[in-house]
Amino acid sequence: MANFLAQFQSIKSTSDRLVISVEDVSDLWPAVKPAFEARLPFKQGSLNNKTRNPVLVEKLPAEFILTTDSRLRSRFPQEQLLFWFREPYATIVLVTCEDLDEFKTILKPRLKLIVQNDEREWFIVFVSRAHPANDKASAMAKKVYAKLEVEFNTKKRERCCKYDIHSPESNFWEDLESKIMECIRNTLDKRVQFYEEEIRKLSEQRLMPVWNFCNFFILKESLAFMFEMAHLHDDALREYDELELCYIETVNNTGKQRDFGGADHGDDQAALLNPGNKALTQIVQDDSFREFEFRQYLFACQSKLLLKLNRLFEVASRGYSFIISFSKSLALHERILPFCMRETWVVTACLALIDAILSNYNDGLMAPDIEKRFFHLLGDLYSLARVKFMRLAYLIGYGTEIERSPVNSAALSLLSWPKPAVWPSVPADASAEVLEKEKVILQTTSRTKPFGIQRKPLPLEPTVLLREANRRRASLSAGNAFETFDGRQGITEGMSPSQKVPPSSIPRTNSSPGNFDGSIDRPMRLAEIFVAAEHALKKTISSQELLKSLSSSEEFEQKYLELTKGAADNYHRSLWKRHGVVLDGEIAAVSFKHGHFDQAAKSYEKVCALYSGEGWQDLLAEVLPNLAECQKILNDQAGYLLSCVRLLSLDEGLFLNEERQAFQSELVRLAHSELKDPVPLDVSSLITFSGNPGPPLELCDRDPGTLSVTVWSGFPDDITLDSINLTIVPTSSADEGAKALQSSTPNVLHPGRNTITLDLPPQKPGSYVLGVLTGQIGQLRFRSHSFSKIGPADTDDFMSYEKPAKPILKVLRPRALVDLDAAVSSPLLTNERQWIGILVRPINYSLKGAVLYIDTGPGLEIDDSHVIEMETYADVSENDDNKVQKDGAQIDSLNYEKKVERLTLHNGKIEFPNWASDTPSIIWVLVRAMSDMLSRGSSSVTTRRESIVDAMRTIALNLEFGVYHNQIFERTLAVHFTYPFYVTTRVTDKCNDGTLLLQVILHSEVKATLTIYDAWLDLQHGFIHNGQTEGRPSSSLFPLVISPTSKAGILFSICLGKTNGEEDRKQQESILNIKYGISGDRTIGAHPPVMDESTKVDDARQELIFKNAITLQRPVLDPCLAVGFLPLPSDGLRVGQLVKMQWRVERLKDLDEKEVPEQNDEVLYEVKANSGNWMIAGRKRGHVSLSPKQGARIIISVLCMPLVAGYVRPPHLGLPDVDEADVSCKPAGPHLVCVLPPALSSSFCIPVNS
């Protein structure tokens, strides 16, 4: 079967569609061929896959071939069985007949003979050539077709269809395609079953010596190819997968030594997408195939099917995995392969796979998650090709063009050198090239780092190339060590000091040939290795594009950028941002090299942001200086300053101290240069701060203070901060913003820990934590929001973001810091100089330097002629002991020492002495309560209705205290002033001779002893004194002493006098005059008035005068008018019913002519009633005519309606223009009347059925 391999490949290359044979019985094919072939390919059909499940196939390609064609007749039976996939899948029998006899005698027997082969799938197409206008011919054609159907159709299957050549029926083509697809489906099922059976037989013999993989391959690929022709690509792919597994198993288990392949010219170019790259007969080896070509052939078949299925992600996934695994196989056979065959093949494989995928890619057809993984695989392919390409470039001397970046170093230092059996030698005619390479090597100088950074360059090789190349030279057994290591990466590296070779033992230069024994070749120099590798690669590489990319440093750089950009772009599209950003840094290095600093800076910023976010400080230290250099060249001052700060913020071990000082000097120089605008900068990683250890600073509400903050400087040298602002943030209220504390004086920060102090203005109550530290260095505005992490983690000094921020300040809630109150609560004397005591109690707060402002209210004035007295206060009563201690007085009553000091009132303010800062004290202020009103007495039968408010005076106090007088306490004190006596009078007796005994009762109103020295009464007109007393009682009563809150009585004898209207109107009140003295203490209440020093007489009795107005009324003996309430109706009052209220007004005596007014016949009346109880229907107020003669009478009537039931007071008739003393009422006082509820109404009754 293996002998048919060439024929199999030839058939496979020519057969790409299904064959449908045409048995032309009546020579009809030329006439119907155009119409039949126009239906190809079949638009839609249903076929069964390998598991017999229906699969919808679109655009199925097919080909109609006559059975007489040589392509079908020139096949041997064995060929037919082996290559059954190319045999017809359906047979169409074309017939026509216009006579029934001809059908019976000729056509029917011939058709029976044709269709007797059961292996073929066939059906008959009857072609009618009758013209539609010829009815007879058309009728005959129908009869013949009917006979045809009877003979060849069965119940299970219809095998006939009719085609009218002049006017085909509308459903003919659908019927034709349906019958063709049915035949193809049945044929395909039979052939699949046949191939599966044959494959199963060969699989059972796989472990036998007679096993032949070529035979198995032909059967397996025939089945796969048949599926591919039927557009069952999934089944074909599955067959190739099984074929690959079987081949790998065969290769691994076979003990024979087989040729790997890959030694032919052009094998360096991967054939992952070209199954016909080599004929199968060229790669066959005994009973199998060479691994190098055959594995690529299988993958090419698989990728072709995947591309037809539009599974680009699977192509990329399988391709990347295949390249990795096949590269390992190439590494195992590297000794027999051309030089750098593996690297070259990987580069071409990746690029070919990428080109094929991108040429078939359409945006938007993949699911988003699959598309991300797809671009990630493309990025991996680009990255793999990039690394292998850099390795090839390094071997031919382009290592100086490769940036020694962390990513390149990591990729190339982990990639092993090629391992040929013998390292290629330098051609004999390449001496000029060697000299040129040496010149390039000697002229190459490493680029100096910015800021004078001295750092060992990162390696781009796993081991020293010079040693690796010379070690693999077949004739090299010993040599000059200095030449082996090329004098650069010396042999001394990695040795201890005792093992290092002294310089005197290596006298030769790099280019000296050296002295060796006659049997030992001289070691190759680095330039010779580059030239040898370049010549060897020219023999290995057959791709002109790849050779062009390695022909010069410019071409290498162009290809390097293409691969790097491809990898970076695809990583970005796959959202693998870190991979893409790192490769952007490699593009930035090339841009920086060619002076494209703007583009380089943008890419470097992305790389630095990635390294910084991930915390890769070692990598950041490699890239950040390059970014700073770009920003410096571009005059990006803000960016350059930020880069300097970030360099200073890195770990101190990454740079030398001199280098960090260079960073700082650049920052300070630029900050104090002439910047156009101030540059804001975040220095959180460089300047950190925290509160001092210990409890937070506590302040009272509205108190200023001084806040001490620890600032840690990460600068290597001292640095001067022109200004510092620190914000504190309240922890309780989120709505309240941060408060800024300013320090305008320059502060010098030393490396490490520093302490600064800031003035703290008054803050609102609550806890505060540190917020943001800002300030200015020249034109640089810096900002830091980082806390210092100092001390062990288990102490309070350790500031961490994981635990809540430690409060730095606590402002206590508003509380009473001081209390101002009146020292005396009892009343003082009105119109006299009295001491007011103001009690000052500090409550755990110092009153040092306090100022008290005093402002008196109306009716009260401060006597400026006397000084203010201030004395200590000690409340030693048992009830107040606890209060004294609580308020912080802390007074020892046993050892109490009283202090008194005289103060002066300036502009209404008093300054406290120092001794009163923390001790309760009393301030005595001399005041006088002014009142122009006389004290009025009252009758003993009436209730006292004097308002206490009238006797009150107010004094407004404003105490300013605290360090900056920021604390203000305001209080208004109410002081009760009163007269010494309250007077009540009563007539104790009325004698027969008209004498009245008037008793005057004096009530003491003060907490002091009052002494009455004299008293007299000035009577109003209408009253006179009885006898010769002149209004004075007996002198034996005086002096009369009245104790506090007690009372005394004085009896006056008076009688009625003649009345005179005009005199009565002039003096309507009697005046009581009392001469008294007072004995009291100002700490208790009223006390003797303070006398002026100029008028004061020692030991003189101080006498005061008290006057009181007393109103005496003459007895009412002869009223002028009488008002009587007439009786109500006998049926009583009801709610809601009108009732007539009547009053009779009668004149009791004649009026004198002098007393008769001008309108003597009119009397004003007014009816008053409670509106909630009564509704007045008549006039409430009016005039009525009443004769001035005695006995005149009139009745006043008013309609009223009661509103509530019960006992209520009736309306009252009053005479407003007549004094109450001249009116006699009956009833004399208020009385009640009964009001009944409303009567029941029938409209509200509901009848009840008995």
Average pLDDT, the chain: 82
Cα 22 from chain centre: 76
**Residues 95 and 159 grouped into a single domain:** yes
- The pLDDT of residue 795: 43
Answer yes or no: is pLDDT of 125 > 90.
yes
Answer yes or no: is pLDDT of 979 > 80.
yes
Cβ atoms of 123 and 161 within 8 Å: the answer is: yes
- The pLDDT of residue 170: 82
* Number of separate domains in the chain: 6
- The pLDDT of residue 1095: 58
- The pLDDT of residue 127: 92
Q: CA angle, 160 as apex, 155 and 161 as ends, to 5°?
A: 130
- The pLDDT of residue 940: 67
- The pLDDT of residue 376: 94
Answer yes or no: is pLDDT of 884 > 80.
no
Cβ atoms of 46 and 55 within 8 Å: the answer is: yes
**Residues 988 and 961 grouped into a single domain:** no
Could you tell me if residue 1223 is inside a domain?
yes
pLDDT per residue as tens digits for the range 85-115 = 888 999 999 999 988 888 888 888 888 888 8
Of 1045, 1078, 1110, the one marking the end of a domain is 1110
**Residues 1136 and 1079 grouped into a single domain:** no
Answer yes or no: is pLDDT of 181 > 90.
yes
**Residues 671 and 712 grouped into a single domain:** no
Prior bond to 1039 cis, omega within 30? yes
**Residues 707 and 728 grouped into a single domain:** yes
Domain with 1189 in it = 1121-1236
Q: Give the C-alpha separation, 413 to 402, whole Å.
A: 13
Which of residues 388 and 286 earns the better pLDDT score? 388
Answer yes or no: is pLDDT of 1097 > 70.
no
Sign of the dihedral defined by the CA atoms of residues 568, 570, 575, 579, in that order: negative
Answer yes or no: is pLDDT of 270 > 60.
yes
Cβ atoms of 1156 and 1188 within 8 Å: the answer is: yes
- Among 722, 711, 716, 720, CA closest to 688: 711
Secondary structure of residue 1194 in the 3-state scheme = strand
**Residues 695 and 668 grouped into a single domain:** no
Instruction: Give the number of other Cβ atoms within 10 Å of residue 629's Cβ.
Output: 20
Prior bond to 1227 cis, omega within 30? yes
Q: Give the C-alpha separation, 867 to 853, whole Å.
A: 15
- The pLDDT of residue 1162: 84
Could you tell me if residue 515 is inside a domain?
no
pLDDT per residue as tens digits for the range 1178-1203 = 888 888 888 888 888 899 999 999 99
Residue 851, phi then psi, degrees to nearest 5: -125, 130
Q: Give the C-alpha separation, 212 to 246, whole Å.
A: 12
Q: CA angle, 788 as apex, 786 and 789 as ends, to 5°?
A: 120
Could you tell me if residue 347 is inside a domain?
no
What's 1218's domain CATH number? Answer: 2.60.40.10
Q: What letter would DSSP give residue 153?
A: -
> How sure is the predictor about 1111, in pLDDT bands with cuts at 50, 70 and 90?
confident
- The pLDDT of residue 321: 95
Cβ atoms of 588 and 600 within 8 Å: the answer is: yes
Q: What letter would DSSP give residue 1085?
A: S
**Residues 854 and 896 grouped into a single domain:** yes
What's 953's domain CATH number? Answer: 2.60.40
Answer yes or no: is pLDDT of 1145 > 80.
yes
- The pLDDT of residue 446: 66
Answer yes or no: is pLDDT of 1104 > 50.
yes
Answer yes or no: is pLDDT of 791 > 70.
no
- Among 676, 677, 688, CA closest to 645: 688
Sign of the dihedral defined by the CA atoms of residues 221, 223, 229, 235, in that order: negative
Q: H-helix or E-strand containing 341?
A: helix 341-360
Mean pLDDT of 409-428: 89
- The pLDDT of residue 962: 85
Cβ atoms of 565 and 584 within 8 Å: the answer is: no
What is the β-pairing status of strands 719-721 and 687-691? Answer: unpaired
Could you tell me if residue 736 is inside a domain?
yes
Contacts of 1212 (CB under 8 A, 6+ apart): 1167, 1168, 1169, 1230
Could you tell me if residue 376 is inside a domain?
no
User: What is the pTM assigned to this prediction?
Assistant: 0.65
Of 940, 975, 1010, the one marking the end of a domain is 975
Contacts of 205 (CB under 8 A, 6+ apart): 211
Q: How far is CA 926 from CA 749, 828, 854, 863, in A?
A: 60, 12, 12, 6
Half-sphere exposure of 41 (CA within 13 A, CB side): 16
Could you tell me if residue 533 is inside a domain?
no
- The pLDDT of residue 287: 74
Q: Give the C-alpha separation, 438 to 633, whole Å.
A: 33
Q: What letter would DSSP give residue 68?
A: T
- Among 778, 718, 716, CA closest to 748: 718
**1125 forms bridges with which residues in the sheet?**
1143
- Among 222, 235, 242, CA closest to 86: 222
pLDDT per residue as tens digits for the range 315-366 = 999 999 999 999 999 999 988 999 999 999 999 999 999 999 999 998 888 8
Residue 109 in tokens: 């027997």
Q: H-helix or E-strand containing 927?
A: strand 921-929
- Among 300, 355, 334, CA closest to 423: 334
**Residues 1077 and 996 grouped into a single domain:** yes
- The pLDDT of residue 433: 87
Mean pLDDT of 301-313: 93
* CB burial readout 265-287, b (16+ within 10 A) else e: eebbbbbbbbbebbebeebbbeb
Mean pLDDT of 1114-1130: 75
pLDDT per residue as tens digits for the range 423-467 = 888 888 888 888 988 888 888 766 677 777 877 788 888 888 888
- The pLDDT of residue 304: 93
**Residues 1022 and 1079 grouped into a single domain:** yes
What percentage of the chain reaches a pLDDT higher than 90?
27
What percentage of the chain reaches a pLDDT higher than 70?
85
Q: How deeply is 906 buried, as exposed, middle or buried, from its count of CB atoms within 10 A (0-12, 13-18, 19+)? A: exposed
Dmax over CA atoms of the chain, in Å, equals 188
Q: Give the C-alpha separation, 267 to 45, whole Å.
A: 42
Answer yes or no: is pLDDT of 508 > 50.
no
Contacts of 185 (CB under 8 A, 6+ apart): 46, 47, 48
Q: Give the C-alpha separation, 843 to 816, whole Å.
A: 7
- 355 φ/ψ sector (left φ>0, alpha ψ -120 to 50, else beta): alpha
- The pLDDT of residue 816: 84
What's 636's domain CATH number? Answer: 1.25.40.10
- The pLDDT of residue 881: 44
pLDDT per residue as tens digits for the range 893-907 = 445 578 888 888 888
**Residues 936 and 1049 grouped into a single domain:** no
Mean pLDDT of 1149-1167: 67
Strand order in the sheet with 1206-1208: 1133-1134, 1233-1236, 1206-1208
Q: At what angle do helices 233-253 and 213-229 cross, to 10 degrees?
A: 170
- The pLDDT of residue 1147: 86
Q: H-helix or E-strand containing 65?
A: strand 62-66
Of 941, 975, 1009, the one marking the end of a domain is 975
- The pLDDT of residue 1228: 61
Could you tell me if residue 926 is inside a domain?
yes
- The pLDDT of residue 74: 55
Mean pLDDT of 755-773: 86
Q: At what angle do helices 213-229 and 5-14 cross, to 10 degrees?
A: 10
User: What are the E-state strand segments in 108-165?
Assistant: 122-128, 160-164
- The pLDDT of residue 1098: 62
Answer yes or no: is pLDDT of 680 > 90.
no
* CB burial readout 1088-1120, b (16+ within 10 A) else e: bbbeeeeeeeeeeeeebebebbbebeeeeeebb
- The pLDDT of residue 676: 72
**Residues 127 and 75 grouped into a single domain:** yes
**Residues 54 and 192 grouped into a single domain:** yes
Answer yes or no: is pLDDT of 1118 > 70.
no
Could you tell me if residue 420 is inside a domain?
no
SS (HEC) of 591-615: HHHCCCHHHHHHHHHHHHHHHHHHC
Prior bond to 41 cis, omega within 30? yes
Q: How far is CA 1015 from CA 40, 77, 954, 1021, 1035, in A?
A: 148, 167, 33, 20, 9
Q: How deeply is 614 buried, as exposed, middle or buried, from its count of CB atoms within 10 A (0-12, 13-18, 19+)? A: exposed
